[in-house]
């Protein structure tokens, strides 16, 4: 039935078949893996910081700027089930504005990460993966710390955009670095580990929020917690070795004219980069533009029924199963085939999302089950991507190619969130109706993967 997934076309490959002679020692390989794992662990914490804390931050900062009367809002929210007339209209209006700010903060994350992924990815190809990985980590930790001082939604939005430049840059450089310093036989497990790292970060942030609730009165602490990776970034710059494959490629290009330098947007690489963007965009839109709306939905319902920690438990359920999914993703991709696995991930995510948004509501056990299964498929996606995307590109443009593929998908996702904001108005804040529409994106993933190349024979250390 799926034989068409096994068809191949010639991959562009400008990498020499000669072995890289100066491979890293085993301790150095482990150090590289720990650094990349740590970078994306804290990247996962940044993702949940956006999903978990930005609505609460919006309400607090809106109150400070006179956009709402926070005392009145709190009272109305507590009596939401019995409100009628002008009081209900006022509560709905304030919630709509808070939801719009939440959407803007999501877009700041996505646009910032997209721009940062391209810029730091290109710099990683030019100046080294290790340098740009360390600088990226220091960048997002520093600007996250500065967000503690924000006094308006506009200030926080600007600082979050700047921080997310570094988040976007950490992923392609970390993934490229790991893919180049280990033999192929280790790559499925390592790709799964990087995917799992982000989900472990999400779970860690959710667990902290379950212990210490993130509310409009108490959200700044999450900014301080997320300055910790600055120590990791400093350690990367001081102690981590560079990729031998990158050093060899860089020395071969010394003296070349800039116009002859390889580019992901030229000739034979262009098809691969478009495929990479498409395959990365599907889970990004499915997550940010669909499943992530479960968090503010749970936040809104939780505050009305007196369960302020409901959103944290939703985050924990989703991240726990994501950890499981990402752990097995690389190994399943080898066993099932890369493209066949992506097809079944998309099918499972589509069925689960439609069930969750049609048949459940926050607070129900069935809602938690739906969230958990969506988390599982999310983990499969983000364990699969760091395994597959590096195989699409040669060493000379690998960081750029990975960054463009993964992070340009975030631009398309941000545009989807803008559209979702319009749907929020059109559907009068009905999260379920929005989720039913946006989760149809998984159907396109089932189709798109049939156009992906067979990358299984590429040796990443060559």
pLDDT digits (tens, 9 = 90+) for 26-80: 888 899 999 999 998 999 999 888 878 898 999 999 999 988 888 888 888 777 7
Asked if 172 and 117 count as a contact pair (C-beta separation under 8 A), the reply is yes
pLDDT at 439 over 50: yes
Write down the pLDDT at residue 404. 81
Write down the pLDDT at residue 171. 85
pLDDT at 133 over 90: yes
- Cα-Cα-Cα-Cα torsion 103, 348, 195, 396, nearest 10 degrees, comes to -90
pLDDT at 219 over 90: yes
Q: What one-character-per-residue DSSP string does 205-229 give? A: HHHHHHHS--BTTB-THHHHHTTTT
Name the one residue in this structure whose structure tokens are 């970060």: 201
Write down the pLDDT at residue 222. 94
Write down the pLDDT at residue 301. 80
Name the one residue in this structure whose structure tokens are 């085939």: 337
Write down the pLDDT at residue 255. 53
Write down the pLDDT at residue 146. 97
Write down the pLDDT at residue 142. 97
pLDDT-based confidence at 24, cuts 50/70/90? confident
- Give the CB-side neighbour count of residue 75, counting CA atoms within 13 A: 7
What value does the mean pLDDT take over residues 110-127?
89
For the ranges 153-162, 284-293, 431-440, the lowest mean pLDDT is seen at: 284-293
Name the one residue in this structure whose structure tokens are 């936040």: 299
pLDDT in tens, 395-423: 778 878 887 887 777 787 777 777 766 66
Write down the pLDDT at residue 299. 77
Nearest to 29 by CA among 189, 330, 242, 198: 242
pLDDT at 12 over 50: no
pLDDT at 160 over 50: yes
| pLDDT above 70: percentage of residues in the chain | 88
Higher pLDDT, 368 or 456: 368
Write down the pLDDT at residue 82. 78
Where exactly are the structural domains of the chain?
A: 30-246+265-451
pLDDT in tens, 76-117: 877 777 777 888 888 888 888 888 888 899 889 988 988 998
Write down the pLDDT at residue 399. 78
pLDDT in tens, 251-290: 766 555 444 556 667 667 788 888 999 999 999 888 877 7
Asked if 297 and 102 count as a contact pair (C-beta separation under 8 A), the reply is no
Write down the pLDDT at residue 79. 78
**Rounded Cα gap, residues 165 and 112, in angstroms:** 5
**Rounded Cα gap, residues 80 and 306, in angstroms:** 11
pLDDT at 362 over 50: yes
pLDDT in tens, 165-188: 999 999 889 988 888 888 878 878
DSSP state of 11: P
Asked if 195 and 382 count as a contact pair (C-beta separation under 8 A), the reply is yes
433: buried, middle or exposed (CB in 10 Å: 19+, 13-18, 0-12)?
A: middle
Specify the CATH class of 30-246+265-451 in words. Answer: mainly alpha
Write down the pLDDT at residue 460. 54
Q: How many CB atoms lie within 10 A of CB 54?
A: 28
What value does the mean pLDDT take over residues 330-348?
92
pTM score, two decimals?
0.75
For the ranges 151-155, 269-273, 310-314, 370-374, the lowest mean pLDDT is seen at: 310-314
pLDDT-based confidence at 388, cuts 50/70/90? confident
Query: In angstroms, how far is the first alpha carbon of the chain from the final one?
Result: 34
| Mean pLDDT taken over the chain | 83
For the ranges 339-348, 427-436, 441-450, the lowest mean pLDDT is seen at: 427-436
Write down the pLDDT at residue 50. 86
Write down the pLDDT at residue 13. 43
């Amino acid at each position: 039935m799926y034989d068409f997934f096994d068809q191949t076309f010639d991959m562009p490959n400008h990498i020499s078949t000669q072995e890289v002679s100066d491979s890293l020692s085993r301790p150095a390989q482990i150090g590289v893996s720990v650094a990349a794992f740590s970078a994306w662990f804290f990247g996962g914490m940044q993702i949940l910081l956006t999903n978990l804390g930005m609505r609460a931050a919006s309400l607090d900062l809106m109150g400070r700027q006179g956009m709402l009367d926070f005392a009145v809002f709190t009272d109305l929210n507590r009596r939401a089930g019995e409100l009628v007339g002008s009081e209900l209209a006022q509560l709905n209006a304030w919630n709509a504005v808070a939801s719009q700010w939440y959407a803007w903060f999501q877009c700041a994350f996505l646009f910032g990460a997209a721009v940062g992924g391209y810029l730091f990815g290109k710099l990683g190809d030019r100046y080294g993966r290790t340098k740009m990985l360390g600088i990226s980590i220091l960048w997002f930790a520093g600007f996250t710390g500065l967000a503690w001082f924000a006094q308006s939604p506009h200030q926080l939005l600007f600082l979050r955009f700047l921080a997310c430049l570094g988040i976007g840059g950490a992923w392609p450089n970390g993934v490229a670095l790991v893919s180049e310093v280990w033999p192929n036989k280790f790559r499925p497990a390592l790709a799964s580990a990087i995917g799992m790292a982000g989900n472990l970060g999400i779970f860690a942030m959710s667990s902290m929020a379950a212990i210490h609730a993130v509310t409009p009165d108490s959200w700044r602490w999450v900014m301080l917690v997320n300055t910790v990776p600055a120590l990791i970034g400093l350690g990367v710059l001081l102690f981590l070795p560079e990729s031998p494959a990158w050093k060899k490629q860089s020395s071969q290009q010394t003296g070349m004219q800039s116009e002859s330098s390889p580019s992901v947007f030229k000739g034979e690489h262009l098809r691969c980069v478009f495929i990479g963007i498409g395959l990365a965009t599907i889970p990004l839109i499915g997550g940010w533009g669909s499943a992530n709306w479960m968090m503010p939905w749970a936040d809104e319902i939780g505050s009305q029924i007196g369960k302020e920690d409901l959103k944290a438990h939703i985050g924990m359920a989703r991240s726990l199963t994501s950890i499981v999914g990402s752990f097995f993703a690389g190994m399943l991709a080898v066993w099932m085939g890369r493209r066949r696995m992506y097809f079944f991930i998309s099918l499972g995510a589509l069925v689960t999302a439609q069930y969750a948004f049609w048949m459940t509501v926050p607070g129900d056990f069935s809602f938690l089950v739906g969230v958990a299964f969506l988390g599982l498929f999310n983990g499969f996606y983000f364990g699969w991507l760091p395994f597959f995307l590096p195989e699409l590109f040669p060493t000379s443009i690998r960081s750029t190619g990975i960054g463009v593929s993964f992070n340009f998908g975030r631009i398309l996702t941000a545009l989807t969130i803008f559209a979702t904001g319009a749907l929020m108005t059109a559907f009068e804040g009905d999260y379920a109706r929005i989720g039913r529409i946006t989760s149809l994106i998984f159907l396109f993933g089932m189709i798109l993967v049939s156009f992906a190349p067979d990358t299984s024979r590429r040796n990443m250390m060559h």
